[in-house]
Amino acid sequence: MRNLILASSSSYRRELLAKLHLTFESCAPHINEEALPGEAAVDLASRLAREKALALAGRYPDHLIIGSDQVAECRGTLLGKPGTKERAIDQLTQSSGHKVSFHTGLCLVDTRDMSHVTVCETYSVYFRELSKEEITRYVELDQPLDCAGSFKSEGLGIALFEKMEGLDPNTLIGLPLIRLIELLRQKGINPLAE
């Protein structure tokens, strides 16, 4: 079995990858995560996922390194992690009644030969019209300050939506597992094989 590295410090991504019952280590890559001038959300998510994985390549020879990054977008505006209650309330107010798309870049680097594959999966949520009271109460209860878009779909955030669209709900949390399994199987790793 090849050694796996998750190029991330995200507890959400570690929890998702652990669902596959594969042995892995996680290591935080240190890259500049700012968007380039005029860079589209899909391109940004893909580039950051690739840069995260490649940033660790020199430290882990003969490993498979998984890089992932997520960019949220509402009406052409990028939504980052709010960091504060006030910013979370502002983001949710802007999202109320609108579609927010989460573009999650995924890169698998094989340090044996430095080959890599990068894909981007999109998952969208459609917000209900939310009252100021609902938004404030949600932020107080779920504390989504470290989440792009200011919500946790795996928690109470589900109460904010009319509907969700996409192939893999894990994409919304930060790691598209269906695509990841596909990429790992191409490298001979199958979570369902002995």
Q: Known catalytic residues?
A: 69
Contact 64, 109 (CB under 8 A): yes
Please state whether beta strands 115-127 and 99-110 pair in parallel, antiparallel, or not at all (unpaired): antiparallel
Residue type, 188: G
Residue labelled with tokens 């991504």: 13
Residue type, 177: L
Please state whether beta strands 99-110 and 3-7 pair in parallel, antiparallel, or not at all (unpaired): unpaired
